[in-house]
Amino acid sequence: MKRLGYLDLTKGIGIFLVVLGHATFVNEKVITWVFSFHMPLFFIVSGILLAKKDFSQITMREFLYGKLETMIVPYLFFSITYSLIDILSVYFKQISMRDLKINLICTGTFSGSGPLWFLTTLFFCEILFVFLVKHLGEKKAIAASVLLSCIGFATNRFFAPVFELSKENLRRYFLLSFPFELIRCMICLIFIVVPFMLIKVISRRYPKNEAFLDDSHKITIKNRSICLISGVFLLVLTAYLAGFNSNIDIHNLDYGNVALFLLNAGLGSFGLILICRCLPSNKLLTPIIFWGKNSLTIMATHLNFYILFLGNVIAYKINPYIRHAKEYVLLFNILLITMLIETILILLLNRFLPRAVGKRKNPQ
């Protein structure tokens, strides 16, 4: 399927927000706003892309194989690399042996060590939803998925406290890790279903507007203005509403108020998508689109490969030579250096280990 540039741009901004959320010197309100939608955004983009697929032309086996190649192979590659880094960290007494064992348990149970939880959760969500679509049809699959998400939210209320306590006993933690991953998948399934349903509705009820979802469609100035104003409004509204909820951590299924969690995730994600859809092609956006195409690598490496940490170290080294607005300039330098290092790493991995990061023969 042809890549959609505005979705790559959306993912590029989204992954930058992920890095921003983990950086220092970021205002607490900004972090709360970013965390309210930055991870659901990637699930929503996947839901839009699934809606663009013709599942009558692809078998379940072919779809599964494709996702194993683009998600599980990178998961295994980065998991093994994480384990090697953790072993070195134990040797240099940066983490404890218990931390290493917990990370290995997360890897083995597919709940994911660090940010790798996203890969397995998205994998299981997509496989489950496509399986339902092919066996039940779209309408029943959507209804079943919504029901599963509701069950996931209800189950998590009782399971989350038990799982948190299980960390005191590694054997119990091992037994409960995969069920916890399944609950996370059930909850995140809603972020696949809603955009899938919306795109299908637009395509069927408003066939003249279907081309709006394709990069080849020329958007009028009026429609660009509507998208921009709507997108900005939704993001501002998300920033306001996010303040009424706690900080979101989907990895640990800490989402506070369910209604606010779902509302902010949808408003923020669709707000950003609308803004990116209305932006005209511009060479200045090329680096961000590149990050979007390689968001998986940035997601997996910016923390556990200590790239953000390295960005901090270098930025601090040059900070004494900057006299004005040091805190803001320092944050800018941290992010700039981090993304530059990420860009170099992406180019190297795409060139020498494309399969390991989910790229096929001709990576873009």
Q: Give the sign of the dihedral formed by CA 86, CA 88, CA 89, CA 90.
A: positive
pTM above 0.85, yes or no: yes
For residue 282 the two structure tokens come to 């511009």
The mean pLDDT of 181-200, rounded to a whole number, is 96
Encode 330-341: b = buried (16+ Cβ within 10 Å), e = exposed. bbebbbebbbeb
CA distance 14 to 20: 10
Is residue 45 a contact partner of residue 254, using CB atoms and an 8 Å limit? no
| Confidence at 353, pLDDT banded by 50, 70, 90 | very high
pLDDT at position 363 is 40
| Confidence at 224, pLDDT banded by 50, 70, 90 | confident
Task: Average the pLDDT over each of 51-60, 70-79, 85-94, 148-157 and give the range with the smallest value.
Answer: 51-60
pLDDT tens for 107-143 read 999 999 999 999 999 999 999 999 999 999 999 999 9
Is residue 167 a contact partner of residue 102, using CB atoms and an 8 Å limit? yes
Is residue 21 a contact partner of residue 34, using CB atoms and an 8 Å limit? yes
Please determine, for residue 185, whether its predicted confidence score (pLDDT) is greater than 90: yes
Bridge partners, residue 254, by sequence: 249
pLDDT tens for 143-176 read 999 999 999 999 999 998 899 888 889 999 999 9
Greater pLDDT, 77 or 283: 77
Is residue 81 a contact partner of residue 115, using CB atoms and an 8 Å limit? no
CA distance 354 to 348: 9
| Domain coordinates in residue numbering, the chain | 5-357
CA distance 26 to 16: 13
